[in-house]
Amino acid sequence: MSDIITCPSGLTGRIRGMKVREERILADRKLAKSGGQMDELLAACWQQTQDVGPYDFGKSDIDWGAVLQGDRFYALLQIRAATYGSDYAFAVPCENEACRARIEWELDLRDLPVRSLSKASRTALVNGNRFEATLPDAGKRVWFQLLTGADERKLPKVRRHAGDRLLSALLAFQILEIEGVEPRGKRAFVEDLTLRDADFLVDEFDRVDCGVDTTIEIECAECFATQDVNLPFGRNFFLPGKERTARRRDRSNCFRE
């Protein structure tokens, strides 16, 4: 079974669900360490490109390292849905310190809001992936890029070396140039930004980007408190999870009887 999907940027193609042979990708620790699992999975399950959207791959196959994070994540969601169906169940602990109950939640992946790439953002992406914003407090112009699959692979290393300066490290990673600031002074400038300017930049990154909104509001069945959580996404996302666990439990009960 295969489906035709259109990613937030306009990249369109035919995908299929995962097969047994893709299990090796999920189990490959070397790929997991290098950040290459998602690239391999996308390459395996993307069968045909019908519209390259804003990308220029020449006569080559899709270079998933050059594809925007938002497109990659959307395609992975659709591959998961094509494999097991669009219903996805997960569990998180209640954030209420007086409760801490296990919250079981289920949603339809295809109901998650999707932000398309605007015409202005598409133009900027095609013209070198270079976006401009002016900081409200510093008054300086800043040029930044939208993150791609190649950047995704670098982020774990950035986070590991950031220590207690994660915000400034992530901002500096995405910023290409700052008006009147030498490249070697970029990190120091970012660390000296007001939090208002930092928040403004994060909002700008999101405003011009595309992708899937994965923040979900859930309610605890025990204390009725609500909380926002990000959709859990990792190796287990591509396993059948709750359904398989239930089947195993049912089989175990049968054997006991």
* Per-residue model confidence as pLDDT tens digits over 84-96: 999 998 899 999 9
The answer to whether residue 24 is domain-embedded is yes
pLDDT band at residue 207 under the 50/70/90 scheme: very high
CA nearest to 95, candidates 217, 199, 195, 212? 217
* Pair (52, 70) in one structural domain: yes
The answer to whether residue 246 is domain-embedded is no
Q: Which residues of 55-83 are buried (b: 16+ CB within 10 A; e: fewer)?
A: beeeeeebbbeebbbbbbbbbbbbbbbbb
pLDDT at 248: 46
* Pair (95, 221) in one structural domain: yes
Average pLDDT value over all residues in the chain: 89
* Pair (185, 132) in one structural domain: yes
Q: Considering only 24-33, 61-70, 156-165, 217-226, which range has the smallest mean pLDDT?
A: 24-33
* Pair (81, 125) in one structural domain: no
CA nearest to 84, candidates 249, 243, 212? 243
DSSP state letter for 193: S
The answer to whether residue 252 is domain-embedded is no
The answer to whether residue 174 is domain-embedded is yes
The answer to whether residue 255 is domain-embedded is no
Residue type, 244: R
Residue 249 has pLDDT above 50, yes or no: no
Which carries the bigger pLDDT value, residue 28 or residue 190? 190
Say whether pTM exceeds 0.85: yes
Residue 62 has pLDDT above 50, yes or no: yes
Instruction: Look up the domain containing 189 and give its range.
Output: 118-209
C-alpha 9/C-alpha 12 separation (Å) is 9
Domain count, the chain: 2
* Pair (103, 36) in one structural domain: yes
Q: At what angle do helices 69-84 and 37-45 cross, to 10 degrees?
A: 60
* Pair (172, 124) in one structural domain: yes
Structural contact between residues 62 and 182, judged by C-beta atoms closer than 8 angstroms: no
